[in-house]
Amino acid sequence: MSQPLFRSVLIANRGEISCRILRTLRRMGIQGVAVFHREDRPSPHVAAADVALEIDGSTPTAAYLDSEQIVATAKAAGVEAIHPGYGFLAENADFAERVVAAGLSFIGPRPEVIRLMGDKVHARDFVVKHGFPVLPSVVQTGNLESFCTEASRLRFPLLIKAAAGGGGKGMIIVRTREELLEKAPLAAGEAKRYFADGRIYTERYIERPRHIEVQVLGDGEGGAIHLFERECSIQRRFQKIIEEAPSPTLSPALRDTICHTAVGITRAARYTNAGTIEFILAPDDTFYFLEMNTRLQVEHPVTELTTGLDLVAEQLFIAAGQGLRLRQDDVSARGHAIECRISAEDPDHDFIPATGRVALLRAPEGEGVRFDSGIREGQDITPSFDPMLAKLIVWGDNRETAITRMTRALEELVLLGVQTNVDYLARIMRDEAFHAGALHTGFVVERATALCPADVDDETQAAALVAAALGIEDFRRLVSEVPEPYASINRWRN
Amino acid sequence: MATQLRAGDRIFTVDLVERKPVLTVNIDGAVWRIEVQAAENGELVLKLGDREMRAWRSVHGGEVSVKLGARTFHFSYLDPIDRAKEAGADSNELRAPMPGVVVSVHAQPGESVRKGQTLVTIESMKLHTAIAAPRDAVISTIHFGEGQTFERNAVLVTLAAQ
């Protein structure tokens, strides 16, 4: 590469995605500028950046959401572009506008497209207008009462969602009219709390649906390609925990249809940069537009491992005005990739978030294993941020090889000091329904019994207890300091 | 003195029986002879008869985590001094399961509440959790107001004694 696309790029994010973007910037000879709240000072993204600048906020989250301060910081640092990562300001149209108004490049789509796709109702109308499939639905336009009356005319069960929502927050399934009347106000309350917008809408709920999404790239002028699909049906509380590419059970014809539908929507929106079109796939192979995510996804690495592309690099090329480097025919996918999201939570108690300290961290290694992490040993895991700590991604020639590699990598991963879902993910990897590819978004609930931890045999329990006890100073002192005769006599005294 | 470790609602008592030639412990009445060595990479190698197991361990305060094969164990060390304190702990206190912030308060001191009724809604890691009354009770004190933050195990609500 003769000349870098940008001299310097600021990443308006933290954690693993900030580290991930910094890696590509470094490889491409672009200066990487990180921002951090003081609570994050010891975080890896600060250490990994060429320049790290502190931002203020009443809470750490408030700092990363402060678009005015972040743009001012970017201007002062003299960067040419801002990458928003995912979460925080990534899908905030006002932020994108502010970035552009400051004379900087926003590494993502145009503000008006973010705004269009960020409002589920408008996005849905747009997709319908262009002739793509969506689920029958009712949008709240007046009060809750008239909404419930109209919604009752749809076929139950229904899914209630926040109009401005995302990330599974405030979504409720209702199976009867009575349940609808009871739950609609709750959904509106949650929508108001999470998204500062109390409007809700409802659509027909597909039983045992699968979540299939397509990675797309657009040039902003109606040119678009897809990088194939990802299956993200393993979810808890409507949030993905395992993603894979390709989907294990799509027929080639259906894959082709879904991917081309995604490209059609991308073209219609004259979409710029990387995005994801999410679909609900019903058991009868009909599929419906769910939403478009106007950013890099958490699960983008599975697409990278199967296509061999660096999505952040493609984003930079597009943002620098070089358009699409690839034609559709240039893109091919090989083998199978799986990603597991490693989170601080307790899967055996309703996935309640956990806090603690990363006291010991050993990343798995080996062929086809990638560990995208934003944590380091000694770091406190506080309730300030999302519980996702890292992502483990593997690649294999086929799905079985990938599952075997993931199982081994999860066993090798040592992340102690805070409760995580690592053991739970390993149990999914050994689950027969998962092996069979019998996936749907209710998998975690339906397989709950099969996914419970097995009983521990007495020898293993004893070994674990001794290993633990030897970590306790009082016990260790007993073992090392008790004079020998007494150590033996102890047995008789007791 | 016996060492007590708690995992969930189970308490294990580990008694040192003999330290040489082989570490011998009595765990809740069963005697185990376990040879323990530290590998170069920091892993513990534990031998029980013919079986060899490898374990990673971390200790943070009184919390001990052990990864043994594909399985992770969490233990809390029950410090004898804390144990004495806990014996006198008040079952009328509702404590915070995690650090966080109070989102809303749904009851007032002096109010009679029913078992299961939400008293306080807290938020930790972007997740809302309802703190509910464990029994029919009268509220004595609500310790935090809306927007106030608290640490794990902080007393959120005190119920009047029965």
Q: Which residues are A390's β-sheet partners?
A: A342, A373
Stretch A239-266: mean pLDDT, rounded? 97
Distance in Å, alpha carbon of A191 to nearest chain B alpha carbon = 13
> pLDDT (tens digit, 9 = 90+) per residue, A94-130?
999 999 999 999 999 999 999 999 988 899 999 999 9
Nearest CA in chain A to B104: A193
Subunit contact B64:A362, Cβ cutoff 8 A: no
> pLDDT (tens digit, 9 = 90+) per residue, B65-80?
999 988 999 999 998 8
pLDDT at A492: 37
Map residue B156 onto helix, strand or coil. Answer: strand
Give the distance from CA A476 to its chain's centroid.
42
Stretch A354-365: mean pLDDT, rounded? 94
Residues B20, B73: one domain? yes
B3 contacts in chain A (CB < 8 Å): 469, 472, 474-475, 478
More confident residue, A324 or B91: A324
Stretch B119-132: mean pLDDT, rounded? 82
pLDDT range class, residue B97, cuts 50, 70, 90: confident
Distance in Å, alpha carbon of A494 to nearest chain B alpha carbon = 9
Taking only residues 101 to 120 of chain B, the set having a beta carbon closer than 8 angstroms to any beta carbon of chain A reads none
pLDDT at A47: 97
A487 contacts in chain B (CB < 8 Å): 16, 18-20
Residues A158 and A174 sit within 8 Å (Cβ to Cβ): yes
pLDDT at A361 over 50: yes
The domain segmentation of chain A, as residue ranges, is 8-107, 136-204, 210-446, 458-493
> pLDDT (tens digit, 9 = 90+) per residue, A33-81?
999 999 999 999 999 999 999 999 999 999 999 999 999 999 999 999 9
> pLDDT (tens digit, 9 = 90+) per residue, A403-445?
999 999 999 999 999 999 999 999 999 999 999 999 999 999 9
- Gap between the terminal Cα atoms of chain B: 36
**What distance in Å separates the CA atoms of residue B74 and residue A416, rounded to the nearest whole number?**
9
**Does residue A427 carry a catalytic annotation?**
no
Residues B94, B137: one domain? yes
pLDDT at A485: 43
Residues B67, B11: one domain? yes
How many residues appear in chain B?
Answer: 162
Map residue B84 onto helix, strand or coil. Answer: helix
Residues B74, B12: one domain? yes
Stretch A179-185: mean pLDDT, rounded? 93
Residues A67 and A98 sit within 8 Å (Cβ to Cβ): yes
A212's tokens: 């299939």
Residues B80, B94: one domain? no
Stretch B98-105: mean pLDDT, rounded? 86
Q: What ipTM goes with this model?
A: 0.84
Residues B63, B45: one domain? yes
pLDDT at A486: 43
pLDDT at A494: 32
Residues A439 and A210 sit within 8 Å (Cβ to Cβ): yes
> What range does the domain containing B25 cover?
3-84
pLDDT at A470: 94
B3's tokens: 């060492």
Question: Domain A136-204 sits in which CATH superfamily?
Answer: ATP-grasp fold, A domain (3.30.1490.20)
Strand order in the sheet with A51-54: A51-54, A31-36, A8-11, A81-83, A105-106
Q: Write the residue in A416, A466, A480 that is nearest to B65 by C-beta.
A: A416
Number of domain units in chain B: 2
Residues B98, B80: one domain? no
pLDDT at A493 over 50: no
Q: Does B19 touch chain A (CB under 8 A)?
A: yes
Look up tokens 């300030």; give the residue. Answer: A384
Residues B150, B97: one domain? yes
Q: In a mutagenesis test of the A interface, which of B41, B59, B76, B82 is the best target, namely the one with the most A β-carbons within 10 Å? A: B59
Nearest CA in chain A to B63: A417
B79 contacts in chain A (CB < 8 Å): 474
> pLDDT (tens digit, 9 = 90+) per residue, A272-297?
999 999 999 999 999 999 999 999 99
Residues B63, B107: one domain? no
Q: Write the residue in B26, B32, B44 that is nearest to A467 by C-beta.
A: B44
pLDDT at A490: 38
Stretch A361-378: mean pLDDT, rounded? 96
The model's pTM: 0.85
pLDDT at A454 over 90: yes
Residue B98 is part of a domain; what is its CATH number? 2.40.50.100
pLDDT at A482: 53
**What distance in Å separates the CA atoms of residue B127 and residue A386, rounded to the nearest whole number?**
9
Q: Write the residue in B30, B100, B152 that is nearest to A458 by C-beta.
A: B30
Residues B34, B77: one domain? yes
User: Which of A98, A110, A199, A295 is an active site residue?
Assistant: A295
A67's tokens: 């678009």
Q: Could you tell me the fold of the domain covering A8-107?
A: Rossmann fold (3.40.50)
Q: Does B72 touch chain A (CB under 8 A)?
A: yes
Stretch B118-134: mean pLDDT, rounded? 83
More confident residue, A161 or A326: A326
**DSSP conformational letter for B120:** E
Question: Domain A210-446 sits in which CATH superfamily?
Answer: ATP-grasp fold, B domain (3.30.470.20)
Based on the number of CB atoms within 10 Å of its own CB, is B73 exposed (0-12), middle (13-18) or buried (19 or more)? buried
pLDDT range class, residue B87, cuts 50, 70, 90: low
**What distance in Å separates the CA atoms of residue A51 and residue A187, rounded to the nearest whole number?**
43
B18 contacts in chain A (CB < 8 Å): 487-488, 490-491
Percent of chain A surpassing pLDDT 70: 96
